[in-house]
Amino acid sequence: MNKIKVLIPVYNDWQSVYKLIDEINSLSIDPEFQISIIIVNDASNHDRSNEQKTLENLHSVKILNMKKNQGHARCIATGLKFIYEKDDFDYVIPMDGDGEDRPEEINNFLNQIKGNIEKPIVGERIKRSENLIFKICYQLHKIITFSFTGKSIKFGNYSCLSKTIVEKMINEKATWNSFSGSLTKIENNIISINSIRGNRYFGPSKMSYYNLIKHSLSIISVFRKTFLVRSALFIIFYILLIKSYASVITAIPLVFLLIAVYAISNLALRENMDEFDKSLENINNIDQIK
């Protein structure tokens, strides 16, 4: 029997998480898979419901309560480390807890691993649910990321990782900064399956334009050496291109690039292996709700 751990980070969105748990519990899962859920509570300051649930199709549900807020990526990193060091598992499926990662697609991952695949499997977005402007910005994010890193990253957290890949992830400091960037860095052979971005169960999406920019820069920071080399080449080429037309307007792309270099350099400092190694010390307590 394959033991599957579904890893869900949450911050003040318990109504959505409890609905997601119900949705996962209601799935028709092949009996060869044992599904457990591990929720990383990122020091939520809203009281969560004490509603009792039967959850007859889930093996267990644990909530890791963090002492201090650390952000989405670091919650996933902490969860991966906890599962690898403290739990018994074969695969981990990290996913968002708001409904945008559709629970019915879990079966698509499970179908892929029936042959005991060691390669990471990621949900590649083929359809998004945001407005047109956001979709355009997201496409620009992918183009810029590819242009400055040479990496085409079309996935987020929603994935399925074998024990071998989880071990690599928790030994890579970039995981403390960017999940998708780190996975792309450690593994070239990634299997993609189609994934449709769902609608949030409750409330507006938390992926604002600011968060999208930060997300994009965090990924690029994982490949900062390549970024700096390509940035230098761009600056040289661009200056040669506009030298006869230099003005405040033509200098705008250079200003934005310099700001990006500064931001990426700061984000790169988040890759702190000492903090990652000590991340389990941030767990205040563990609630076993099943």
Cβ atoms of 152 and 219 within 8 Å: the answer is no
Q: Which domains does the chain have, with CATH numbers?
A: 2-131+152-205+273-288 (3.90.550.10)
CA–CA dist 228, 75 (Å, integer): 29
pLDDT at 101: 94
Residue-wise burial string across 70-96, b where 16 or more C-beta atoms lie within 10 A, e elsewhere:
bebbbbbbbbbbbbbeeeebebbbbbb
pLDDT at 207: 65
User: Distance between terminal CA atoms of the chain?
Assistant: 20
CA–CA dist 106, 26 (Å, integer): 12
Q: Fill in the amino acid letter for 154.
A: K
User: What are 92-104's pLDDT values in tens digits?
Assistant: 999 999 999 999 9
**97: closest CA among 68, 67, 132, 61?**
61
Cα angle 269, 232, 264; round to 5: 20
User: What are 208-258's pLDDT values in tens digits?
Assistant: 667 778 888 899 999 999 999 999 999 999 988 888 787 888 889 899 999
Rounded (10°) angle between helices 179-186 and 209-222: 20
